[in-house]
């Protein structure tokens, strides 16, 4: 477990090895300088002050000044390089994670979920970056200073150094005890923070329902419960923390006092020159500070460890859709899609989502796919652009298996409109041009007309240049869908794949769009998944799915006679007379 953090650091710091060593070297210089200064001070007192030698005092003073300058210079350079290295690290890891995710298939993406991937690329990387930065500046300095100070202390006076045997464990134990109490409390606090945020999010999202059912008081009580719990935990945490610093200071101070007392004894018997007392005080301070720093740093390690694990999870997950190294291209791009005995099963699942799927979608033909939710419709569509790969069988595009073609080639054939319409931040024009960057305004308007979207775009003040917020939330559901369809149309693909893309439209718009699209794309292949029978009825070919298998293929009239599943679906929406017309 512990290894992932180290592994991540090692892997991504490799290009900066040289800089890291420079930083370590400078930290060494800095620490040695800091350790030497008290020594010089002792010297100053012993040989300067005690002997009344003014000249000596000045000389030593000058040396101390020089060393101070050296230390400061080192500090600045350290700040520069440690910032650079840790931020570069962060940048490199973020890039690696992003590129990894871009290679994912839909399956890997869904396994993690988009929100989790976003957090991993931001919060988790930041955690590790923070630890690296603090580590470079502090965690290297602490042991060097600590050990160096111990050596100097011993050099100064071995007997007095015996105090360390008491002070260091005392400090160590105190911090250990505090951490043992705090760390689990932190976890609980996080859970409670998440809970309270969840409740607030719900209350804001469901405000209509809450008011309609007159549940404002109920919600206040629900919130109060979460608020109380959070307050309790937070209080425990902050109160425990409040002990830490005063107690540590007390230990430090008592140690100073002890040094003075026992030091006095040694000086009295002549076993130690007086100047060394001051030096010793400095050393003991430095040792105890290093202990404190080191232990506090270890607070951060578990969190960074967890973050490193989450990062590596992404980096080490291979994509389940692998691109071929020897791509073939079909002789002609017509848009013919053939499914040959296709099966899709999640690894380890008992039942496949799809099995034995065979049908052909020809250009100039509208193929509608129907079936109840969970019957595998979206999965079927996702197999064509290789968002996921089939576990058995073949999918041919223009006669060649899609897995034998390059992904870019496969994608260039397809105009895809997903179930949930998603627009990118920018303008209407930038969205429409998403598949064809050099499309002219004329082409854009033409596509909008087909998608029944030209009217509302014309009505907008900025027309094609109207701003689109991220996700397209400044448009209604129906408008988003129509723009998504227009986007696909602009691309002029050979194959249109529309996943329940008319659901937010009313019947009238739905019908007009279907007619316009069929006319515009009369030489392309249309594959449509729909819930509305009125949309499906007109298709040239209807594929009926039930529990992942094909229950029937044909046109409306044929299926009404022969396919029970189809009958059910139709009659749940239309009366028998309407179904017959």
Q: Which of residues 203-242 bind other proteins (CB under 8 A)?
A: 203-216, 218-220, 222-224, 227-228, 231, 234-235, 237-239, 241-242
Tokens of 280: 């010793």
Verify binding: residue 458, other proteins, rule CB under 8 A: no
Q: Tell me, what DSSP letter sits at residue 494?
A: S
Q: Looking only at residues 537 through 566 of this chain, which bind other proteins when binding is defined by CB under 8 A?
A: 538
Query: What does DSSP say about strands 400-401 and 392-397: parallel, antiparallel, or unpaired?
Result: antiparallel
Closer Cβ to other proteins, 1 or 214, answer by number = 214
Q: Nearest to residue 163, comparing CAs of 246, 284, 279, 60? A: 284
Collapsed DSSP state (helix, strand, coil) of residue 428: helix
| Closest approach of other proteins to the CB of residue 313, in Å | 15
Cα–Cα distances in Å, from 222 out to 202, 231, 541?
11, 15, 53
| Closest approach of other proteins to the CB of residue 2, in Å | 20
Verify binding: residue 287, other proteins, rule CB under 8 A: no
Q: Say if residues 327 and 409 touch (Cβ distance below 8 Å).
A: yes
Q: Looking only at residues 53 through 72 of this chain, which bind other proteins when binding is defined by CB under 8 A?
A: 53-54, 57-58, 60-61, 64-65, 68-69, 71-72
Verify binding: residue 90, other proteins, rule CB under 8 A: yes
Closer Cβ to other proteins, 153 or 410, answer by number = 410
Q: Looking only at residues 298 through 327 of this chain, which bind other proteins when binding is defined by CB under 8 A?
A: 299-300
Verify binding: residue 387, other proteins, rule CB under 8 A: yes
Specify which residues 340 forms β-bridges with. Answer: 394
Collapsed DSSP state (helix, strand, coil) of residue 544: strand
Verify binding: residue 367, other proteins, rule CB under 8 A: no
Q: Which helix (DSSP H) or strand (DSSP E) does residue 401 occupy?
A: strand 400-401
> How far apart, in whole angstroms, are the C-alpha atoms of residue 557 and residue 539?
11
Q: Looking only at residues 140 through 199 of this chain, which bind other proteins when binding is defined by CB under 8 A?
A: 182, 193, 196-199
Verify binding: residue 22, other proteins, rule CB under 8 A: no
| Closest approach of other proteins to the CB of residue 345, in Å | 19
| Closest approach of other proteins to the CB of residue 204, in Å | 5
| Closest approach of other proteins to the CB of residue 502, in Å | 9
| Closest approach of other proteins to the CB of residue 506, in Å | 5
Closer Cβ to other proteins, 358 or 509, answer by number = 509
Q: Looking only at residues 388 through 407 of this chain, which bind other proteins when binding is defined by CB under 8 A?
A: 407
Q: Which helix (DSSP H) or strand (DSSP E) does residue 11 occupy?
A: helix 3-13
Closer Cβ to other proteins, 341 or 507, answer by number = 507
Q: Phi/psi of residue 392, each to 5°?
A: -155, 160
> How far apart, in whole angstroms, are the C-alpha atoms of residue 37 and residue 67?
8
| Closest approach of other proteins to the CB of residue 196, in Å | 7
> How far apart, in whole angstroms, are the C-alpha atoms of residue 165 and residue 147?
14
Q: Say if residues 352 and 345 touch (Cβ distance below 8 Å).
A: yes
Cβ-count burial of 198 within 10 angstroms (0-12 exposed, 13-18 middle, 19+ buried)? Answer: exposed
* Residue labelled with tokens 């430095």: 286
Number of H helices, E strands in the chain: 23, 12
Question: Binding residue for other proteins (CB under 8 A) from 18, 318, 477, 576?
Answer: 477
| Closest approach of other proteins to the CB of residue 29, in Å | 13
Tokens of 569: 């679906």
Q: Say if residues 355 and 548 touch (Cβ distance below 8 Å).
A: yes
Closer Cβ to other proteins, 57 or 147, answer by number = 57
Q: Total binding residues for other proteins by CB under 8 A?
A: 169
Question: Binding residue for other proteins (CB under 8 A) from 191, 329, 507, 523?
Answer: 507
Question: Binding residue for other proteins (CB under 8 A) from 15, 17, 122, 187?
Answer: 122
Verify binding: residue 243, other proteins, rule CB under 8 A: yes
Question: Binding residue for other proteins (CB under 8 A) from 503, 549, 553, 560?
Answer: 503
Verify binding: residue 346, other proteins, rule CB under 8 A: no
* Residue labelled with tokens 């099966």: 343
Q: Say if residues 384 and 402 touch (Cβ distance below 8 Å).
A: yes
């Amino acid at each position: 477990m512990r290894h992932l953090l180290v592994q991540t650091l090692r892997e991504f710091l490799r290009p900066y090895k040289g800089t890291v060593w420079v930083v370590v070297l400078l930290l060494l210089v800095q620490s040695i300088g800091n350790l030497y200064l008290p020594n010089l001070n002792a010297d100053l007192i012993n040989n300067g002050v005690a002997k009344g030698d003014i000249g000596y005092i000045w000389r030593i003073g000058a040396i101390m000044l020089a060393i101070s300058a050296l230390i400061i210079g080192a500090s600045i350079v350290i700040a520069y390089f440690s910032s650079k290295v840790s931020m570069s690290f962060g940048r490199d890891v973020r890039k690696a994670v992003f590129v990894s995710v871009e290679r994912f298939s839909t399956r890997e993406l869904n396994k993690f979920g988009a929100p989790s991937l976003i957090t991993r690329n931001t919060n988790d990387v930041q955690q590790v970056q923070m630890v690296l930065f603090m580590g470079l500046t502090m965690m290297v300095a602490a042991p060097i200073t600590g050990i160096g100070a111990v050596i100097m202390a011993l050099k100064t006076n071995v007997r007095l150094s015996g105090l360390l045997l008491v002070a260091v464990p005392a400090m160590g134990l105190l911090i250990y005890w505090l951490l043992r109490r705090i760390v689990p409390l932190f976890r609980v606090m996080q859970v409670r923070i998440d809970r309270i945020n969840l409740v607030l999010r719900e209350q804001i999202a469901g405000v209509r329902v809450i008011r309609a059912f007159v549940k404002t008081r109920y919600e206040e009580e629900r919130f109060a419960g979460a608020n109380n719990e959070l307050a309790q935990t937070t209080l425990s945490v902050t109160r425990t923390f409040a002990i830490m610093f005063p107690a540590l200071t007390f230990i430090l101070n008592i140690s100073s006092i002890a040094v003075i007392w026992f030091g006095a004894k040694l000086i009295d018997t002549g076993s130690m020159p007086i100047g060394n007392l001051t030096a010793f005080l400095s050393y003991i301070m430095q040792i105890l500070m290093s202990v404190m720093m080191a232990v506090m740093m270890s607070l951060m390690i578990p969190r960074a460890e967890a973050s490193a694990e989450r990062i590596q999870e992404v980096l080490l997950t291979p994509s389940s859709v692998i691109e071929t190294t020897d791509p073939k291209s079909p002789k002609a791009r017509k848009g013919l899609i053939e499914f040959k005995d296709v099966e899709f099963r999640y690894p380890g699942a008992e039942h496949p989502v799809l099995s034995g799927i065979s049908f052909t979608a020809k250009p100039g033909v509208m193929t509608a796919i129907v079936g109840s939710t969970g019957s595998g419709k979206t999965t079927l569509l996702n197999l064509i652009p290789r968002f996921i790969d089939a576990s058995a069988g073949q999918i041919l595009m223009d006669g060649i298996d899609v897995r034998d073609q390059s992904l870019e080639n496969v994608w260039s054939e397809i105009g895809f409109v997903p179930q949930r319409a998603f627009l990118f931040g920018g303008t209407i024009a930038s969205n429409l041009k998403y598949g064809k960057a050099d499309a002219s305004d004329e082409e854009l308007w033409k596509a909008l007309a087909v998608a029944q979207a030209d009217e509302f775009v014309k009505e907008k003040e900025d027309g094609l240049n109207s701003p689109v917020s991220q996700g397209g939330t400044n448009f209604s559901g129906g408008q988003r869908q129509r723009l998504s369809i227009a986007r696909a149309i602009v691309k002029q693909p050979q194959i249109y794949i529309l996943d329940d893309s008319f659901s937010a439209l009313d019947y009238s718009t739905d019908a007009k769009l279907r007619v316009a699209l069929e006319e515009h794309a009369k030489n392309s292949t249309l594959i449509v998944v729909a819930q509305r029978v009125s949309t499906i009825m007109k298709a040239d070919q209807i594929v009926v799915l039930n529990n992942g298998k094909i229950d029937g293929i044909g046109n409306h009239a044929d299926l009404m006679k022969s396919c029970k599943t189809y009958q059910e679906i139709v009659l749940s929406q239309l009366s028998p007379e309407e179904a017959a017309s």
